[in-house]
A and B are shown apart, each in its own frame.
Chain A
Amino acid sequence: MTTEVAIVGIGMHEFGRTEGVSGMDQGVIAVRRACADAGVSWEDMQFAFGGSMAAGAADTMVSLLGLTGLQFINVANGCATGGSALFSAYNTIRSGVFDLGIAVGFDKHERGAFRVNTKGSGLGDWYGASGLALTTQFFGMKINRYMHEYGISQSTLAKVSEKAFRNGAMNPMAWRRKPISEEEVLNSAMLSYPLTQYMFCSPGEGGVALILARADKAHLYTDKPIFLKAAVVRSRRFGSFEVLAPSIALEHNAGPTVDASKAAFEMAGMGPKDMDLAQLQDTESGAEVMHMAENGFCEHGEQEFMIQAGETEIGGKFPVNTDGGCLANGEPIGASGLRQVYENVLQLRGQAGARQVPNDPKTAYTHVYGAPGISGVTILSR
């Protein structure tokens, strides 16, 4: 008999660029805000899982938060760092080892496209020297093939960005809070065909912390516990098409997102039709389109109609990336997956303000994807 798990406190440091505040400090601020939200103090934390890609070892934040002697484990798992911290915290409580703990992620990246460490990624120097070590190229190539196979238009890619910036404008924590029209998106610089500048998210800064408790003790901390029904991380299988691959097999495999999604739905005992809203990885606008189908929310190609008809808008049939996603928030790697969960907790509590999804949503889904071919999914319910 496993223990159910609830999220009882959430905290976030504003995403974007905060001069003079280190990535670690942003993580600490997120932790303090999460503690305040749950009405607990740092001393109450029995354990922590935390990570960042570029802003230091998370466990050193205890010198700022208080040396309480808690079990603190650093997590480093590429783009799924936040998701992996949450997975670990979830299972620590489920297994009955501890009753109350925290998952924290933060980051602060240099400006411009991510500089790929080819050695750290297991690639030869020739690969970067030849101009192939750019994650942006993968996204351009994946959506270009997808558009060819399933008839997705450039207009649909632009509409995804337009929606992201419109939603971001309603989110006080977002980086980009100015609406940008479909036309402006299409006319911005072509970075990696068919993707333009405003179709890509940027590396950024931010921090998020989530406090988890045994579900049967959640009432001690909140009158609106949000239950974590599934947390899953999957890596790639043979034949999938992933970022930074000098070659790929002739055989086709659907990739880690499909595997993670199926496993999460099975764990939660629910299906895609049971979800009221979703935050899906939108490193660029094409990713959101493809991830709608890879996560089971539509058939391949149906996105063209759905997005043109506004079905993924906040007031639509199935809202996607209600907080503006990576496009409007930027992508501090360590915090990005936890930001999605933070937004879903707000939505399920009914605390999302101007961007609140109507009709009291009861279930919500998150999906993160990144290098080197890794996906993390969570399912939340009230």
Chain B
Amino acid sequence: MQLTLDQLESIAKRQLLAVQEYYLFCWQSVANLFRAPHYIADILTQADLIGVGSLPIVVLTGFFTGGVLALQSAASLAQFGAQAYTGRFVSLSMIRELAPVLTGLMVSGRNASGMASELGSMVVTEQIDAMRALGTDPMKKLVTPRMLSTVVMLFLLTIVADTVGTAGGAFVSVFISGQNGTQYFTSAYQALVWADIAQGLTKPLFFGFLIATVGCYFGMKTTGGTQGVGRATTEAVVVSSVLIIFSDFILSRAMLWLFSGI
């Protein structure tokens, strides 16, 4: 199909409008934190759904990621006689990069899609309109609780992934590579400085916000019946995953500058 300049222009305009709309959507979800009514029960339900519900997959991915890091690094570090640094390598990689990003991607796959499909079905079956007709603001009742609990829960899940990943590395180092466990943990512990932890725990706050706002945004903008719900779900996962990886790059760059001045 040939795209004319006009068509390109209208596509660009539509995308720009969507970005602007998403920006306002995010702003509103945050502003509602300071406006009554607050839906405490909904926040807790969502926290349970996102936090406790995602725990198994986060533990599994964390453990095996730590394990595979130890496996791969032990081989290359051995070439330099630096096998003793395995613990340091695993814990640094997990805390700075892998735990936040992988946890973010897992939760995005599970919850951004869940939010988009749930809110999307509510839109196409007029439940959102019904809610507004009953005097409830769906942004306050549905979006803000999801946003808040995803941010908090992703933060906690990332800590879990950090811990489990380091343990997975230890498991592989001790039982497969035959290293000394004390050495692993000493090296892992010594490597940690404040800047790494700050970096590793700032990221999930941003990722959690992205997951919830993108999931809810695509859900609330659903049009076109059941098919539209499917489309919204796919788009929510794709967009939030890409945004997580992209913002990880930006955040890493910013924090290197902030903490190390480079």
Whether A and B are associated in the same complex: the answer reads no
